[in-house]
Structure 1
Amino acid sequence: MGLDRSWFEQYGIWISNVIRGDFGESSRSGVSVVELVVGALPSTLWLILLTVLVSVPLSILIGMWAAYREGSWLANVVRGGTTVAIAVPAVWLGLILIIVFSVMLGWLPSGGYVSPLVDPVRFLRYMALPIVTLSVFLTGILTRFVYTEASDVFRQDYMRTALAMGISTRRRVFAYATRNAVLPMITVVGVQAGAMIGGAVLVEAVFGLGGLGQLLLSSVLNRDYLVVQGAVLLTTTFVLLIGYVADILYRLVDPRIGR
């Protein structure tokens, strides 16, 4: 491991090994770091993907509706609700969901993971509570963003012109306002999805998903440095990659950015 050398040399050895695809072995289990990371990755990716699929449509619906009814007490409730959703600690919310839906009601399992290729129904049952836990935070952020963008769109001259021309409310809201308000959301979703790869650590630990976040946390506690380095490198790569793809997608769907 080069522990008898300076940390400059140790880092150089590690980088040269990584370039060759050798991330080393776990000092605790002796298993290859690549094998550990690949085994932990699917549950994390499924958690993030399903959280995004739940949060994005919900955020668009709530944010657009609140912006259209701006000034009403219901719109104020939505604004206050997003603040609460962003502020609620994920660990606390996860424990509350376990107490209510697993312990008291017995509807859903409190932890564990089953691959969707093995049993899709059990997979959804195990993932339901973790998805809800992460979706509350992500929905709060995205709803506030959509609300702010949509409120600005509704004040634009072309929206007043559309109203004066007698265009139906449905067409004005969904054909004009939603498209222009939601486009900038692509970048925000990309940034948040990338951040959730590292932010899901505590959620995975609470529900025992055995994902990348839980692997990273256990490796830190066990001082399994090579696993920590490999997991952090992979997490960083995913964050950068998702953000880059989101920027490209935004330029593709909105040609004005390219110009």
Structure 2
Amino acid sequence: MTRYLLTRLWQSAVTVVIASIVVFWGVRQLPGDPALALAGEEATPERVAAIRADLGLDDSLLVQYGRFVGNSVRGDFGESTRTGTPVTELIGATLPVTLWLALYAIAVAVVVGVALGVVAERYRGRWPEWMANAAALVGLSVPNFWLGILAILWLAAGLGLFPASGYVPVAENPASAFYHLTLPALILGTSLAAVIMRQTRASMIETMKTDYVRTARAKGLGRGRVLMRYGLRNSMIVVVTIVGLQLGGLISGAVVTERIFALPGFGKLTLDSVFTRDYPVIQAVVLIITVGYIVINLAVDVLYSVINPRIRVGGAS
């Protein structure tokens, strides 16, 4: 197990290095000149040249990359070329919003998806399974932005059950914060809940066909007890895999949801930075998302061994 973890850590480090090169090179392929965007369209060539020199854009790409890596290792991502604010401050102010939203959405998706998956397997061929499949189909088919607009019209503006926009920091008022995040989390977690439901149902159906389940049933255990004790536990491997892969996607893909509900999150910061060619912010955002993916995947691999001991034994051998 230790050798496996060391190997995964080494692979992760190599992936981070490759990702940093791709991020650094890709950002500089964006059309437009950040110096010109900062100076304005009517700025003189001398003013633009001075800004390029201040930003270090006249240096070779190798020098710029070395400076970017060195500063990133120290946690210094520079200053925003658009506002002059340190990038770490911008990320520190916006990333918690998106993290809380993503975690809340995943919690909702896991609870709803697993519950519907269990119901669909338990009542196969009956109306509860049809209703669960219909709900999953809607969750997979309807875009989040459309669900968000409908939710604001019906649940927020119409019935007044939730606020239509706004954000309250969790540290200031947890109850109010989660109240404001409930509707965005429901919308963001809809498609993930549908995927979890379908995969949970399929995994439990396969598990209920195995020999050890038939043995448990032959010993007198009821179907419901076998379903929860064996089927649900084995299906959790699939759930952990989906959550691990989707958490990074939720963090980076919450742009639309944050726009609809006016949340000052990571997605809004990313979009604004791309529009203004803010190189330091874009580099930091993409690099953080990449590292987040790697860390989450590593954590998922470790969780496999906790959920299923056979994986731990196989990895150790």
Q: What TM bracket, shorter-length normalisation?
A: over 0.9
Which residue in the other structure is 1:247 paired with? 301
Cα displacement string for residues 133-186 of structure 1 (whole angstroms, at most 9, x for unaligned residues): 012111011111101101111122232333333212331111122112223321
Match of 1:28 among 68, 82, 90: 82
Q: Which amino acid aligns with 2:161?
A: W
Of the structure 1 ranges 5-14 and 128-137, higher mean CA displacement relative to structure 2 is found in 5-14
Q: Which amino acid aligns with 1:59?
A: G
Closer, same or farther: CA 107–68 of 1 in aligned 2, 3 Å: closer
Q: Does 1:139 align with 2:193?
A: yes
Equivalent residues of 1:64, 1:146 under 8 A apart: yes
Match of 1:88 among 127, 137, 142: 142
Could you list the structure 1 runs, at least 4 aligned residues long, displaced by more than 4 angstroms after superposition.
none
The Cα shift of 1:45 comes to 1.1
Unaligned runs of 5+ in 1: none
Q: Does 1:199 align with 2:253?
A: yes
Cα displacement string for residues 91-112 of structure 1 (whole angstroms, at most 9, x for unaligned residues): 1111111111222222321111
The Cα shift of 1:8 comes to 4.1
Q: Which amino acid aligns with 1:32?
A: P
Q: Does 1:2 align with 2:39?
A: no
The Cα shift of 1:125 comes to 2.2
Of the structure 1 ranges 104-113 and 67-76, higher mean CA displacement relative to structure 2 is found in 67-76
Rounded Cα–Cα distance in structure 1 between residues aligned with 2:133 and 2:60: 53
What is the alpha-carbon root mean square deviation over aligned residues?
A: 1.7
Q: Which amino acid aligns with 1:168?
A: G
Rounded Cα–Cα distance in structure 1 between residues aligned with 2:239 and 2:83: 43
Rounded Cα–Cα distance in structure 1 between residues aligned with 2:245 and 2:130: 27
Equivalent residues of 1:43, 1:211 under 8 A apart: yes
The Cα shift of 1:245 comes to 0.6
Which residue in the other structure is 1:65 paired with? 119
Q: Which amino acid aligns with 1:254?
A: N
Equivalent residues of 2:119, 2:132 under 8 A apart: no
Equivalent residues of 1:66, 1:78 under 8 A apart: yes
Give the alignment of 1:26-175 within 5 angstroms: 26-175=80-229
Cα displacement string for residues 189-212 of structure 1 (whole angstroms, at most 9, x for unaligned residues): 111112211111211121111111
Of the structure 1 ranges 184-193 and 148-157, higher mean CA displacement relative to structure 2 is found in 184-193
Highest CA radius of gyration, 1 or 2? 2
Unaligned runs of 5+ in 2: 1-54
Equivalent residues of 1:68, 1:151 under 8 A apart: no
Equivalent residues of 1:70, 1:151 under 8 A apart: no
Rounded Cα–Cα distance in structure 2 between residues aligned with 1:74 and 1:201: 34
Of the structure 1 ranges 17-26 and 40-49, higher mean CA displacement relative to structure 2 is found in 17-26
Rounded Cα–Cα distance in structure 2 between residues aligned with 1:245 and 1:188: 13
Q: Does 1:238 align with 2:292?
A: yes
Which residue in the other structure is 2:267 paired with? 213
Equivalent residues of 2:236, 2:307 under 8 A apart: no
Identity rate of aligned residues, in percent?
37
Q: Which amino acid aligns with 2:116?
A: I
Match of 2:237 among 147, 167, 183: 183
Which residue in the other structure is 2:50 paired with? none
Rounded Cα–Cα distance in structure 2 between residues aligned with 1:61 and 1:141: 12
Rounded Cα–Cα distance in structure 2 between residues aligned with 1:104 and 1:50: 24
Rounded Cα–Cα distance in structure 2 between residues aligned with 1:222 and 1:99: 32
Rounded Cα–Cα distance in structure 2 between residues aligned with 1:15 and 1:145: 40
Q: Which amino acid aligns with 1:172?
A: V
